[in-house]
Amino acid sequence: MPFPTTHPALSSALDKQGYAEPTPVQAAVLAAPDDRDLLVSAQTGSGKTVAFGLALARGILGEAPRFGRPGAPLALVIAPTRELAQQVSRELKWLYAEAGALVVDCVGGMDPRAERRALQAGCHVVVGTPGRLRDHTERSALDLSALEVVVLDEADEMLDLGFREDLEEILDSTPKERRTLLFSATIAKEIATLARRYQRDAERIDTLRRDEAHGDIDYRAVRVAPGETEHAVVNLLRYFESPGALVFCNTREAVKRLHNGLRERGFAAVALSGEMTQKERSDALQSLRDGHARACVATDVAARGLDLPDLGLVIHAELPVNKAGLLHRSGRTGRAGKKGVSVLVVPYNKRRFAERLLDSASIEAGWSGPPLAEEIRAKDQERLLADPILTEAASEEDLTLARRILADSSPEMVAAALIRLHRQRLPEPEDVYDDVRDINRDVPSPVPRGGKSYDPLREGPVRQGGEGETAWYRMPIGRQNNADPKWLIPLICRLGHVTKKDIGQIRIFDRETKFEIIAETDPRFREAVKGAAEGDIRIEPAGAPPSADRPRGPRPPPHRGGPPPRNGPPPRGGKPKRRANQAPG
């Protein structure tokens, strides 16, 4: 359906941007009465910014062909983060360009003096973050007396980030007769309370597709060995080759570590974390928008509200802590009708948590191992053969040079050179371990029960006992986590700064693994593993495990003299009765 009748200047702007028909939220907002407050719940990427931009025009522009002289702002848009506020500002500027609107940004990290000068000079619309807007209000730099409309964008995120007090201070300073448009991904209890306090007879608009909540996102879960997360991320980026990818970590340190690892391998990657300056964050985002960078490694907070073009892939390098985090992260892709892929990187020891997380969000994800190097190389061949460079029309200058090259080289040599040039720009895929036993969780693990020993220098169980003195250590990971020497050995070597030859026997039990370190390496190993960990896997000293041939049942209590104890409780009276043929002691 075409856009409903809107202001001529806005219709022209929509045509220039290629907007042919409204999204569900845009159609619903335009159909709402002009004088009603709105309480709107809509998924990310649904076109909310254009929706409230069109709704604002009715109150601040009306039937006038253009805006008049700027003065005190007529509309105020509040967003949770500076990136989202700046993004909203860009959208409103092109939407209102032909109507002559002056839009001013007020966000943290920018020069407050320049913002105050812009506000004093006059404007029509102000877009800002709660903290900076409150600061300008308290300093009398922001005059809210002429406001006709207030928009709260991503209200749930603003409350999650602790901006309730700032929001209330700002809203209490606005005219009582203003119109209030509240947009939120979910209408939780706190959002409903805020709406009741600051809205009057609000019309509720719900455009979330309850029966197809994740229709535009293909969820996948990739099992990996603990310690191979970075390798898995490398192979996922190489396998999908998305024009834009967002990789999530839980901490700044993890972002820095993974970003450096990707850069070292030749990926065009940027990082986003809370410790970066505003200029660094802006430069990183601009690199993504320009296509100079194809991957962004970020924390949850740094990536709030981001709307990046061509973002076809989200990778959870570290699992989100809850359902809300999973949906928020994944919602960065699959926006505005475009398809996207969300991949959870799941270490073996965290599979149960990942399954509970997906179940809580009612998400069905396909499970698999990480893309293997040979699969990625096969994909590279397909992409090269389908590259438009092979079918595009060549200029006469290019053809002349091609003939000169063919005069000195065979077609096969020229084609081989093209292949080498294509591969030079691609980082090499990593060799990753995939435990095929995990493909079907109902198949019993072939690791023998009773905790048999393994020799890391050759496959298969070996007899108990090794040559020379050794020290035993333990890790809190066992058969339930698909523990296997093939990936345990590299993990031990990384954490303990040892090599394969320094490791003796490995004993795998249900919930833990014990292993030997040779005596001459033990002091260095013991010092290296102090405080070292990968995820929640730590190594600590342990006693030697019991012999595999020893009975696993409980040991009977010690018995000192006298007849063997009876089965069951002793008879009443506290003393055992003597049998008739038993002599007194």
Give the model confidence (pLDDT) of 166-190 as tens digits. Answer: 999 999 999 999 999 998 877 778 8
Three-state DSSP class for 351? helix
Instruction: Print the SS3 string covering 105-116.
Output: EECCCCCHHHHH
- DSSP 8-state code for residue 132: H
Q: What value does the mean pLDDT of the chain take?
A: 81
pLDDT recorded at residue 109: 79
pLDDT recorded at residue 441: 46
Task: Check whether 67 has a pLDDT greater than 90.
Answer: yes
78 - beta bridge partners? 128, 152
CA distances from 355 to 47, 221, 366, 466 (A): 31, 9, 11, 40
Q: Are 345 and 316 in contact (CB under 8 A)?
A: yes
Distance CA 14, CA 174 (A): 30
Task: Check whether 468 has a pLDDT greater than 60.
Answer: no
Task: Check whether 7 has a pLDDT greater than 50.
Answer: yes
pLDDT recorded at residue 126: 97
pLDDT recorded at residue 389: 79
Distance CA 54, CA 67 (A): 15
Which position has the higher pLDDT, 479 or 208?
Answer: 479
Task: Check whether 209 has a pLDDT greater than 70.
Answer: no
Neighbours of 431 (CB within 10 A): 11
Give the model confidence (pLDDT) of 394-441 as tens digits. Answer: 888 888 888 888 888 888 888 888 888 877 778 888 888 765 545 444
Cite the beta strand spans of 82-207 per DSSP E.
103-106, 125-128, 149-152, 179-184, 203-206
Q: Are 491 and 227 in contact (CB under 8 A)?
A: yes
Q: Are 341 and 333 in contact (CB under 8 A)?
A: yes
Instruction: Find the mean pLDDT for residues 370-384.
Output: 89
Cite the beta strand spans of 285-365 per DSSP E.
295-298, 311-316, 340-347
The residue behind tokens 């040991």 is 555
Distance CA 336, CA 216 (A): 9
Is the Cα dihedral 209, 211, 215, 220 positive or negative?
positive
Question: If we measure between CA atoms, which residue out of 289, 296, 233, 304 comes closest to residue 269?
Answer: 296
Distance of CA 180 to the CA centre of its chain: 32
Give the model confidence (pLDDT) of 528-582 as tens digits. Answer: 888 788 777 889 998 777 654 444 444 444 444 444 444 444 444 444 444 444 4
Distance of CA 455 to the CA centre of its chain: 38
Distance CA 232, CA 219 (A): 16
The residue behind tokens 């990310």 is 44
Residue 475 tokens, joined: 């890790």
The residue behind tokens 């850069």 is 263
Question: If we measure between CA atoms, which residue out of 429, 487, 426 comes closest to residue 223?
Answer: 487
Give the model confidence (pLDDT) of 97-124 as tens digits. Answer: 999 999 999 998 788 999 999 999 999 9
pLDDT recorded at residue 530: 87
Distance CA 36, CA 28 (A): 13
Distance of CA 339 to the CA centre of its chain: 17
The amino acid occupying position 539 is: I
- DSSP 8-state code for residue 77: E
pLDDT recorded at residue 575: 46
Distance CA 356, CA 354 (A): 5
176 - beta bridge partners? none
Instruction: Find the mean pLDDT for residues 380-389.
Output: 83
pLDDT recorded at residue 469: 79
Distance CA 465, CA 48 (A): 67
Which position has the higher pLDDT, 557 or 217?
Answer: 217
Instruction: Find the mean pLDDT for residues 452-457.
Output: 43
Identity of the highest mean pLDDT range in 251-265, 285-299, 422-436, 550-564: 251-265
Neighbours of 375 (CB within 10 A): 15
List Cβ neighbours of 575 (8 Å cut-off, separation of 6 or more).
Answer: none
pLDDT recorded at residue 536: 76
Instruction: Find the mean pLDDT for residues 309-315.
Output: 86
Domains of the chain: 8-208 (3.40.50.300), 212-372 (3.40.50.300), 446-541 (3.30.70.330)
Distance CA 85, CA 331 (A): 18
List Cβ neighbours of 340 (8 Å cut-off, separation of 6 or more).
Answer: 216, 217, 218, 311, 312, 313, 314, 330, 333, 334
376 - beta bridge partners? none
Instruction: Find the mean pLDDT for residues 196-225.
Output: 79
Q: Are 342 and 217 in contact (CB under 8 A)?
A: yes
Helix (H) or strand (E) holding 368: strand 366-368
List Cβ neighbours of 508 (8 Å cut-off, separation of 6 or more).
Answer: 447, 451, 452, 454, 478, 479, 483, 484, 485
Neighbours of 95 (CB within 10 A): 24
Task: Check whether 491 has a pLDDT greater than 60.
Answer: yes
Which position has the higher pLDDT, 230 or 215?
Answer: 230
Which position has the higher pLDDT, 452 or 286?
Answer: 286
Helix (H) or strand (E) holding 328: helix 323-330
Task: Check whether 476 has a pLDDT greater than 70.
Answer: yes
Residue 39 pLDDT class (50, 70, 90 cuts) = very high
